[in-house]
Amino acid sequence: MTLEERIEALSERKEFEPGDRELFEEFKNSLRKGEVRSAEKDDEGRWRTNKWVKKGILIGFRMGEMVDMSSPSESFRFFDKETYPLRPMAISDKVRIVPGGSTIRDGSYVAEGVVCMPPMYVNVGAYVDEGTMIDSHALVGSCAQIGKRVHLSAAAQIGGVLEPIGAMPVIIEDDVLVGGNTGVYEGTIVRERAVLASGVILTRSTPVFDLVNETVIKASSDGQLEIPANAVVVQGSRSISSGFGRENGLSLYAPVIVKYRDEKTDASTQLEDYLR
């Protein structure tokens, strides 16, 4: 039986048996190596959720027992499921982790050349590809998929999702810049080379106004909001046109695509190689 078939069978059982822990550790090791992912892109560029991978992650929470994970020298105390300790890291992983309180949970994939500025956090099931920088106070949520050479700026929040099983995690494709204090949630897909300016918030219920193409981008029928490749998105607002809102001059938040990426944008967003 394949790993997928064995995880599917294990997820159907209410009680665990001897040997199940070895299967879970095999599965978690595959996550850590990036051999399995909670979401993948097909040949036509469409992302799909691997439900069985999410089931495997949830098995770990069911199987694990609460333990004291605190270091003897720590004044802070940590208590969590023993199935998800800190991810084992070594200098051979070629991941640069700057001192100061960052945490990468086991069951996540972090590729060579990733830079982690303190404090930051990567949760279980996440996939962070080569050359990405995770800046201070940034979060990569459970099962989020982060592409190559992405810059997650300070305090950027990439939402995570484990349940429902079929829900798409947040996808950030290659060469995207996510500005400081930006939040991307609820299965939003940000296509390659897009730029999200500081403070932009994206959810499935957020309409995005494309000034260039004079269109409004909304979530699809399956609930996914998709930001086009090369789009430059900034904070905006739209006036309330009736009733109390109009009487009081109120406006609603509205992200706006003001342009599509050009040479000037590339120059202003380039993450210098020496920072890595």
Instruction: Tell whether 73 is covered by a domain.
Output: no
Residue 54 falls within a domain, yes or no? Answer: yes
Task: Kindly list the strands in the beta sheet with 183-184, ordered across the sheet, starting from the edge strand earlier in the chain.
Answer: 103-104, 121-122, 139-140, 157-158, 183-184, 201-202
Residue 275 lies in a domain: no
The domain in which residue 198 lies consists of: 3-67+83-268
The number of domains in the chain is: 1
- State mean pLDDT over 206-220: 96
Task: Report the C-alpha gap between 119 and 60 in whole angstroms.
Answer: 25
With bands split at pLDDT 50, 70 and 90, how would you rate the model's confidence at 166?
A: confident
Q: Is residue 111 part of a domain?
A: yes
pLDDT digits (tens, 9 = 90+) for 182-198: 999 999 999 999 999 99
Contacts of 25 (CB under 8 A, 6+ apart): none
Alpha carbon distance 92, 250 (integer Å)? 55
pLDDT tens-digit series, residues 102-148: 999 999 999 999 999 999 999 999 999 999 999 999 999 999 999 99
% of the chain with per-residue pLDDT over 70: 96
Residue 76 lies in a domain: no
Across 46-55, average pLDDT: 96
pLDDT more than 90, % of the chain:
86
Q: Which residues contact 111 (CB under 8 A, 6 or more apart)?
A: 34, 95, 128, 129, 130, 131, 132
In the chain, alpha helices (H): 3-12, 20-33, 51-63, 243-247, 263-269
Q: What CATH number is attached to the domain comprising 195?
A: 2.160.10.10
Residue 139 counted as domain residue: yes
Can you give the pTM of this predicted structure?
0.93
String of DSSP letters for 230-248: TEEEE--EEE--SHHHHHT
Confirm whether 145 is domain-assigned: yes
Longest dimension (CA), the chain: 68
Assign 229 a pLDDT band (cuts: 50, 70, 90). very high
139 phi, psi to nearest 5 deg: -120, 130
pLDDT the model gives residue 103: 94
Mean pLDDT of the residues in the chain: 93
The single-letter code of the amino acid at 260 is Y
Residue-level pLDDT at 272: 53
Residue 46 pLDDT more than 90? yes
In a domain, 72, yes or no: no
Which residue has 């605190």 as its token pair?
70
Residue pair 79/239 in contact by the 8 Å Cβ criterion: no
Q: Which residues, 6 or more positions from 95, have their beta carbon under 8 angstroms from its beta carbon?
A: 89, 110, 111, 112, 113, 114, 115, 116
Q: How confident is the model at residue 51 (pLDDT cuts 50, 70, 90)?
A: very high
Check pLDDT > 80 for residue 263.
no
